[in-house]
Amino acid sequence: MLERPFNELWGNLQGKKPHMPQFLSSVSLKGIRGIDDLRVIFDYPVSVIAGGNASGKSTVLFAAACAYKVPGAGVKDFVPSTLFPYYRPKVGGRADDMQEIIIEFDYQTTNGPMSMRWRRGQGWNRSFPRGKSAGQPERPVYLRTLSNLSNPSEVRGVLSMSRATSAPQESHLTASQIEFAQQMLPFRYSEVVELTSGNKDLLFAAQESGASYSELHMAAGERTILRLSHEIAQIDGALVLIDEVEAGLHPWVQQLLMLQLQRLALRNNLQIIVTSHSPAVLDSVPQNGKIFLDRDETGKVTVRPAYRDLVQDALYGRSGDAINILCEDAIAESILHGVFDTLYPQEGIRTDSVRIGTDTGASEFPSHAAAFRKFGQIKSFVFVLDGDVGGPGIADRILDAAKTDVPILFIPGQHAPEVWVWKGLARNLTPCAAALGIDQSQLQELISRANAVYDSASDSISEITKSKLRTLAGSIRRNAPDICRIVSRLEATQKDSDIQPLVEGLKSALLDWRGR
C-alpha cells in the first residue's frame, strides 16, 4: 500500500539532494567508545543507521550533532565535550581513560565542499583542513532520544509545573504540526496545546470524541508522534537526529512516520538521520539510505554493505520462519528455483517456506555467516556456491565463521553456471524447446548460430557462454534466468544428472529445517 508513495519520495529526495544548501556528507570517528577508525557516508537525505547493540549507532548520531554551529544554542550545546563527557573525579580511583579523539566531518555547502575536525587532546579544539580561514558552518540541529521521553526524571520535572504559583502559558499547535500527527494517529484532535512554565513544557490534547488529557496519560506512541509533530514539523533547513525512532510505535506506524519524515525532508530542506533496530524502518528508505554498523569479535566497528532482503532480515531476526538459501547472483537463483520447482510438490513443502537471496558475492559469504551466527540465525541458512569458486577455500572460511556445521552446496560444473545451463540445453533440446514455446529445430538453429558466432572469441569459456545465453534469450524474447530455471527443472528430474548432489543437498537441508 505504501510502496508507491515511498518510491516517488525516494526519487524526488535523491534528485533534491544536490540542490540542498547544506548537506552533511560523512562523519569519521577515531578513538571514541572503542571505535578506532570508522567513516560513515550519508548519500540520501534520510538515513537509517542500524546494527546490533553496542555497534556504535548512537555514537555516530551524537557525533553528527557536533557538526554545525547551531544558531541560538548555548556554548555547551551541540559540542563533543557535552555529548561525550568523561568521568574524571578529583578523588577516587576510577576514571574514564583519557585518549586522543578525532571527529571529522565532510560537508556540501552552497560554497562547495568543506571539512572540519574536532580533536581532543587535553581539551577539545576545532580545525579546518580545507582552509585556515574556514569556519564551522551554521545550521539548525534537532537532537532527540525518543526512548527517554517518559523517563521518571522528566515526568517529575513536568509535574513541578503544577506547583507553580502562576498559570502556565498556552500556545496552540499550528495546522501543519497537527497535520503531521494526524497522518499517523487513529483519532482526530479538536486542539493540541503546549503548556509552558519556565523551561518546562507539557502537551495537552483534546479529541473530537470529547476526551481531554495531558501527555502524561498518552500512550508512548501517541506521545512520540505529538512530540515530533510539535518539534520538527515547522523547522526548515535543519539536521534532524533521532535515536531509536521506532520507540513505542507499531511497525505500521513506524512506516507511516518514516513516510512523513521523508515528505517533511523534501518540503523543508531537512537532512534526517535516525538510528533503529526495526526492519520496518529499514524498509522505509532506499538502499543508499541504509547504514549497517557491525562490531566484530575483536571490537572493531565497520560499515557493512546495505544488502537487501535475506541478509537484512537475518540481521533483524526475520529469517526463522523459512529456510534461507544464499547464492551469488540471479543465474544461480534461477537454477535453485528450478530445483525447488521439483522439490515443492515432491516433498509437500509450501513455496513460502524457502527464501532465496543474492545481492552478494561468494567472497562475502564468510562475513555473512559470522553475522548470522552472532544474531542467532545461522541454523536457518544454506550457502550455495558457483562451481567456479576455486576449491574449498571459501567453504572452509564459511565453516570457520559459522562455528558450526552449515550446508554448503555447489552448482555443478567448474565454470560459471551459464556453461552448465548451455550444455543442459543441448541435452534437453526437445523439452526445453517446448517449455520455451518454440520448435525444436528453431532452438537447435539458434544454439548452432550462437556457437558459430562466439566460439572463436578470445574470452574465457564462462564469458563466451554468458554472451551466448544472452543472445539466445534476446532472440526468443525471454531472459537468461528464465532459460536457466527451465534447464535446472528438467535436469533435477533426471537421476543421472550432475545436478543431483545439489538436489539431494537442498532436499536434506529442507527436511532438516522442517524437522526442527
Q: Taking a C-beta distance cutoff of 8 angstroms, is the pair 169, 197 a contact?
A: yes
Task: Quote the DSSP letter at residue 393.
Answer: H
To 10 degrees, what angle do helices 480-492 and 417-427 make? 60
State pLDDT tens for residues 466-498. 999 999 999 999 999 999 999 999 999 999 999
Handedness of CA 8, 50, 383, 341 (dihedral sign): negative
- Whole-angstrom CA distances from 444 to 258, 452, 462 are 53, 12, 21
Would you state the cell numbers that stand for residue 224, as one nine-digit string?
512520540
Residue 151's pLDDT is what?
52
Residue 90's pLDDT is what?
67
Would you state the cell numbers that stand for residue 51, as one nine-digit string?
546494527
- Give pTM, 2 decimals: 0.74
List of residues 6+ apart from 427 with CB closer than 8 A: 491
Using CB atoms within 10 Å of the CB of residue 15, give its burial: 0 to 12 exposed, 13 to 18 middle, 19+ buried: exposed
Low-confidence ranges of the chain (pLDDT < 70): 1, 87-90, 92-93, 95-98, 130-133, 146-165, 306-310, 312, 314-320, 359-360, 390-392, 516
Residue 96's pLDDT is what?
66
Residue 391's pLDDT is what?
58
Strand order in the sheet with 271-276: 141-145, 239-243, 271-276, 46-51, 290-295, 301-304
Task: Quote the DSSP letter at residue 167.
Answer: P
Q: If we measure between CA atoms, which residue out of 381, 374, 309 comes closest to residue 51?
A: 374
Q: Taking a C-beta distance cutoff of 8 angstroms, is the pair 144, 180 a contact?
A: no
C-alpha 254, offset from chain centre: 15
- Phi/psi at 141 (5° precision): -130, 135
Pairing of strands 301-304, 290-295: antiparallel
State pLDDT tens for residues 338-392. 999 999 998 888 888 888 888 667 888 898 888 888 878 888 899 999 988 755 6
CA angle 242/247/248 to nearest 5° reads: 145
Q: Considering only the C-alpha atoms of the chain, give the largest distance between any 2 of them, rounded to a whole number of Å.
A: 96
Pairing of strands 46-51, 290-295: parallel
Q: If we measure between CA atoms, which residue out of 134, 119, 144, 116 comes closest to residue 239?
A: 144
